[in-house]
Amino acid sequence: MDKELKIICGDAVSEMAKLPTASVNLIVTDPPYNLNKNYGVFQDNLSFNEYMDFSRNWLREAVRLLTADGSIYVFMGTRYISYLYVMLEQEFKLFFNSWITWFYTQGIGKVKGFSPRHDDILFFTKHAKIFTFNLDNIRVPQKFYRAVNNMRGANPGNVWEFSHTHYCHKNRKNHPTQKPEALFERIILASSNEGDLVLDPFMGSGTAIRVCQQLNRNCIGIDINPEYVEMTEKRLSEPFAGFDSIDERMLRTPKGLKNL
């Protein structure tokens, strides 16, 4: 199947404004969390009001771009996620579906307070009931076999455990907040179909577009940093040997299955 993978260097809002209304089936993105990370050309230490305006402006364009049955997934840290929730539901009238917690086993260490071990992902849809969700594409093997279970596997739930893409991993790029490919794989498999258009307006290291390349989705990635654009172009040209992370539950065999 032919697919179009388009990389755009530019400001997210300005470039999104050039795209046709209701043209994107799925938006999945990991925007800056306003935690003073070094993204090269983007200021990640805005005031509260500046960050709210920044978030509101790109979300407004995102909602415009979604098809009537489209979905949006937004990665966010704990400091601002509740504000984004209110924007999506109250201001932009999208429909809440899931609050996903990505649990990872290693992270920042703290000596006063509890060390953070998760990020969150908000999942909203344009329509309350009409949207793509391919549960059979993302099921995980049951822990125990029971006759009432779906033999294709279980719903993975809203707590996902994937390791970070560690700095020593061969797939690690020079980006401060690179996410593991399996996160995007699950989202893209669940909420889009082959040939659909996926958009990541904060492309970063190019994880979303790399996963779309392997899953036969069309994808547009936008980033303001030309170094990240070059990084992603190189990443797309590299041989593919499998995603850089996996849900360990995918490897299990249901207990009791051998007794059938």
Residue 192 scores a pLDDT above 70: yes
Q: What would the mean pLDDT of 120-143 be, rounded to a whole number?
A: 95
**Mean pLDDT for the chain?**
88
Q: Do the Cβ atoms of 90 and 43 come closer than 8 Å?
A: no
27 backbone dihedrals φ, ψ, rounded to 5°? -115, 125
What is the predicted pLDDT for the residue at 117? 84
What is the predicted pLDDT for the residue at 3? 77
What is the predicted pLDDT for the residue at 1? 44
- Digit-coded pLDDT (tens) for 207-229: 999 999 999 999 999 999 999 99
List, as one string, the DSSP characters of 45-75.
---HHHHHHHHHHHHHHHHHHEEEEEEEEEE
- Digit-coded pLDDT (tens) for 157-169: 999 988 766 544 5
Q: What would the mean pLDDT of 6-16 be, rounded to a whole number?
A: 97
Cα separation of 183 and 201, whole Å? 17
Q: What would the mean pLDDT of 123-134 be, rounded to a whole number?
A: 98
Q: Do the Cβ atoms of 19 and 65 come closer than 8 Å?
A: yes
Higher pLDDT, 50 or 37: 50
The strand pair at 118-125 and 66-76 is best described as antiparallel
- 3-state secondary structure (DSSP) of residue 260: coil
- Digit-coded pLDDT (tens) for 89-114: 999 999 999 999 999 877 677 778 88
What is the predicted pLDDT for the residue at 173? 52
